[in-house]
Amino acid sequence: MEVVVLTGGTLKGSIRQSYGGVGRNLADALARLHCQPFLISALGNDSHARALTAHNPMLDQGGLAIVEEASTAVYCVVLDNGGEALFGVGDMTVHEQITPAHVGKYEDVIQRAPLMVVDGNLTQATINYILDLCSSAAVPDFEAYEQHHVQ
């Protein structure tokens, strides 16, 4: 295995971009299966958001907040030769805009849902609010997160 020495210079490698976020990925897959998921999230007003929203026109985007002064969440991971994560850098600040007030706009949608998937990048207050809504309407919930993001 090659040892990488970090000197501040540019390292040769390959770069691949994909759409992500565990919750978004699940919603994307369900939309492609014609299950009609409703995604509640926040995006910046930038090229990443435009590409993301154009990626799957079948995905209901009625729950997306576009935040003018924010960047769409981005996560960059550096992998070793075996494909294992060495480290990642994430800009998830826009997720702070997914507040109980934003989620509350879709209370009726949540209370009629057959299942609620909650992404682990939300604040604890927002997660608690969603779980309380689900509990009051007997909606099953599932918390989705990527283990290497949790610290």
Give the C-alpha separation, 110 to 38, whole Å: 9
What local confidence, expressed as pLDDT, does residue 59 receive? 94
What local confidence, expressed as pLDDT, does residue 148 receive? 46
Give the C-alpha separation, 56 to 145, whole Å: 21
Please give the backbone phi and psi of residue 147, each rounded to the nearest 5 degrees, phi first: -55, -40
What local confidence, expressed as pLDDT, does residue 145 receive? 57
What local confidence, expressed as pLDDT, does residue 144 receive? 62
**HSE value, Cβ hemisphere, 13 Å, CA-based, for 4:** 13
What local confidence, expressed as pLDDT, does residue 11 receive? 84
Domains of the chain with bracketed CATH: 22-142 (3.40.1190.20)
Give the C-alpha separation, 40 to 122, whole Å: 11
pTM of the model: 0.83
Tens-of-pLDDT digits for all 151 residues of the chain? 567 788 899 988 899 999 988 889 999 999 999 999 999 999 999 999 999 999 999 999 999 999 999 999 999 999 988 899 989 999 999 999 999 999 999 999 999 999 888 888 889 999 999 999 999 999 987 766 555 444 4
Please give the backbone phi and psi of residue 16, each rounded to the nearest 5 degrees, phi first: -135, 140
Give the C-alpha separation, 143 to 131, whole Å: 10
What local confidence, expressed as pLDDT, does residue 20 receive? 87
